[in-house]
Structure 1
Amino acid sequence: MIALGNYNTLKILRSTSVGLFLGDDEGTEILLPNKYVPHDFQIDDRLEVFCYLDNNERPIATTLKPFVVRDNFAFLKVVEVNDFGAFVDWGLEKHLLVPYREQNGRMEEGKKYVVHCYLDEESFRLTGSGRVERFLSNNDLDYQANQEVDILVYRRTPLGWEVIIENKNKGLVFETDVFKPMAIGDRLKGYIKNVREDNKIDVALQPIGAKMLEPTAQMIFEKLQQSGGYLPLHDKSSPDEIKSELHLSKKSFKKAIGILYKERKITIDPDGIRLV
């Protein structure tokens, strides 16, 4: 069965003037329009495609990669608001509708929101919802302390940041555990800190027991990780070079790399700093 709102690996059945007809093992067919047809293909080849309904509500396949798939969450931008609701850009030609009934407050054009994509059982259409908590459940939890998880930040509270864990559960990163800038829509690695008796989940941003670095040192450490383990900056670099790359003063930079060096996380070489 072809799953709407998700990726499907389908066999090329035949080529026509409008595109390729693809099929699954149960005999269901779907069209891949000409603009998505690969340059080189053979009948009976298998293609991975995303399947959804086009503007005429017909099942259609595409090789475009959406920003969210069915039963998942993403941080999406509103591109239009009309009488039906808000339409968000999810990476496909047809925008995803978030009806007014699925909005916590009226969504505004140009702003971004965390949205859940689901298949509406009444209309059989892929639909977006900004009421994300109704798609989260903390029943039957099976997390271990210090377990690494994927998290999506979706709301700020007086206690900290509420996050979606592994696309299904709700957790909280306490403000006292935040050591770097965070924002709604951030996708991060988290670590299960505690599962409470009432099934509320506390999440940390680094492994439990790991020594927390001073924030500026942590920022440089993460920048090194993102840059392949090397930055062409050192204690002889000019203040302008440091400010351009890291938005730090030279004094703050030298203090931070001193901490990283003392913790044996970097080496300081004549041409830059490197992760150990």
Structure 2
Amino acid sequence: MKLTAGQYHQLAIQRINASGAFLDDGDKGLLLPGKFIPKDAKVGDVLEVFVYHDSEDRLIATTTKPKAVLGDIANLKVVSTTNQGAFLDWGLMKDLFVPRSKQRSGMRVGGYYIVKIYTDEQTGRVVASEKIEPFLSNETLTVKEKEIVDLLVYRTTNLGYEVIINNQHIGLVYFNEVFQKLALGDTLKGTIKTIRPDNKIDVSIGQTGYKKVVNEETKILDLLREHNGYLPFHDKSDPEEVYEFFGMSKKTFKMTLGKLYKERKIEFTQTGIKLIDKD
């Protein structure tokens, strides 16, 4: 059995002693320190553990979930630096190392940096690199239009936000299609809007179209109930006021109102919208 550092594994408990639980790794056993053993765990139980190298370069297991795993691109905080490199907090006892050669212009303690987590071929250790472009490519795409994807806000351009898609590709969210505050390093869900002939990808935040409307229905109905069944908003309301109050774009707001009206859940008045009492 070959265990990969930086990933989760399902392993059975072989034995338990004062040091902790030893998990079946096909050899002498992989140590899960005692403080990480689940309550009432016993020999034979299968545990999901994260495997990584300890401070002495030995493979070790933990039930603690890290902030990111092997292959991820994540926004992590620097907790210390040395002449050799920087160490990032990724949620485990041993911090994640970034060699100086993999930094752009030096990292500072307390700063957050977007890095790629990968395996160093020479040492076999899990490390990180701030130079993430070699890990990204739109040459061969693994996504399609209308697909829901994971996004990480990477940087800004003249047109909008460049986002990393599923840790693999680069896409663009246009400024005029963003109706929430975004910061570099934010992670969120998005939808592949358009794939251009040159494989450039346009992305929208969240879900699009009818699916998004369904998700916003409950929000509007709850707000109506909280305000005695009436709100001074309608399809002619100012887009900025709509976003500030409802947290959604004017387009989504109008589509949602239309659906609620057709379902006889709301009615329009001269000054706003009113909840229809079903009782």
The bucket for the TM-score relative to the shorter chain is 0.7 to 0.9
The 1:95–1:205 alpha-carbon spacing in structure 2 relative to 1, beyond 3 Å, is same
CA distance in 2, matches of 1:222, 1:102: 46
Is 1:224 the equivalent of 2:225?
A: no
Shift in Å, 1:65: 0.5
Residue identity opposite 2:45 in structure 1: D
Is 1:51 the equivalent of 2:51?
A: yes
CA distance in 2, matches of 1:144, 1:182: 24
Shift in Å, 1:124: 1.2
The 1:222–1:137 alpha-carbon spacing in structure 2 relative to 1, beyond 3 Å, is farther
Residue identity opposite 1:60 in structure 2: I
Q: What residue in structure 2 maps to residue 67 of structure 1?
A: 67
The alignment-based identity, stated in percent, is 42
Residue identity opposite 2:148 in structure 1: E
CA distance in 1, matches of 2:113, 2:81: 14
CA distance in 1, matches of 2:78, 2:254: 43
Q: What residue in structure 1 maps to residue 156 of structure 2?
A: 156
Q: What residue in structure 2 maps to residue 76 of structure 1?
A: 76
Does 135-144 or 53-62 show the bigger shift? 135-144
Q: What residue in structure 2 maps to residue 88 of structure 1?
A: 88
Q: Given the two structures, how large is their TM-score scaled by the length of structure 2?
A: 0.77
Q: What residue in structure 1 maps to residue 174 of structure 2?
A: 174
The 1:86–1:235 alpha-carbon spacing in structure 2 relative to 1, beyond 3 Å, is farther
The 1:260–1:201 alpha-carbon spacing in structure 2 relative to 1, beyond 3 Å, is closer
CA distance in 2, matches of 1:9, 1:51: 10
Is 1:196 the equivalent of 2:234?
A: no
Cα contact 1:50–1:64 (8 A) shared by 2 = yes
Q: What residue in structure 1 maps to residue 23 of structure 2?
A: 22
CA distance in 2, matches of 1:89, 1:70: 14
Q: Deviations over 1:22-53 (max 9, x none)?
A: 013x4462111111122212211111100000
How many residues are treated as equivalent by the alignment? 251
CA distance in 2, matches of 1:158, 1:12: 54
CA distance in 1, matches of 2:192, 2:155: 18
Q: What residue in structure 1 maps to residue 11 of structure 2?
A: 10
Residue identity opposite 1:29 in structure 2: G
The 1:135–1:39 alpha-carbon spacing in structure 2 relative to 1, beyond 3 Å, is same
Q: What residue in structure 1 maps to residue 129 of structure 2?
A: 129
Q: What residue in structure 1 maps to residue 236 of structure 2?
A: none
CA distance in 2, matches of 1:103, 1:113: 10
The 1:13–1:206 alpha-carbon spacing in structure 2 relative to 1, beyond 3 Å, is closer
Residue identity opposite 2:13 in structure 1: I
Residue identity opposite 1:20 in structure 2: A
The 1:212–1:3 alpha-carbon spacing in structure 2 relative to 1, beyond 3 Å, is closer
Shift in Å, 1:140: 2.1
Structure 1 residue ranges without an equivalent (≥5): 214-220, 238-247
CA distance in 1, matches of 2:137, 2:172: 14
Cα contact 2:191–2:206 (8 A) shared by 1 = yes
Cα contact 1:2–1:28 (8 A) shared by 2 = no
Q: What residue in structure 2 maps to residue 38 of structure 1?
A: 38
The 1:222–1:106 alpha-carbon spacing in structure 2 relative to 1, beyond 3 Å, is farther
Cα contact 1:139–1:199 (8 A) shared by 2 = yes
Q: Deviations over 1:77-120 (max 9, x none)?
A: 11112212221100001110111211222222112121211110
Q: Deviations over 1:131-151 (max 9, x none)?
A: 122111223214332222111
Does 197-206 or 127-136 show the bigger shift? 197-206
Q: Report the 3-state secondary structure (helix = DSSP H, G, I; strand = E; otherwise coil) of the residue aligned with 2:141.
A: coil
CA distance in 2, matches of 1:194, 1:109: 39
The 1:196–1:46 alpha-carbon spacing in structure 2 relative to 1, beyond 3 Å, is same
Cα contact 2:80–2:86 (8 A) shared by 1 = yes
C-alpha RMSD over aligned residues: 3.5
Q: Given the two structures, how large is their TM-score scaled by the length of structure 1?
A: 0.77
Cα contact 1:33–1:62 (8 A) shared by 2 = yes
Residue identity opposite 1:7 in structure 2: Y
Q: What residue in structure 2 maps to residue 185 of structure 1?
A: 185
CA distance in 1, matches of 2:255, 2:210: 14
Shift in Å, 1:265: 5.4
Q: Report the 3-state secondary structure (helix = DSSP H, G, I; strand = E; otherwise coil) of the residue aligned with 1:134.
A: helix
CA distance in 2, matches of 1:195, 1:47: 41
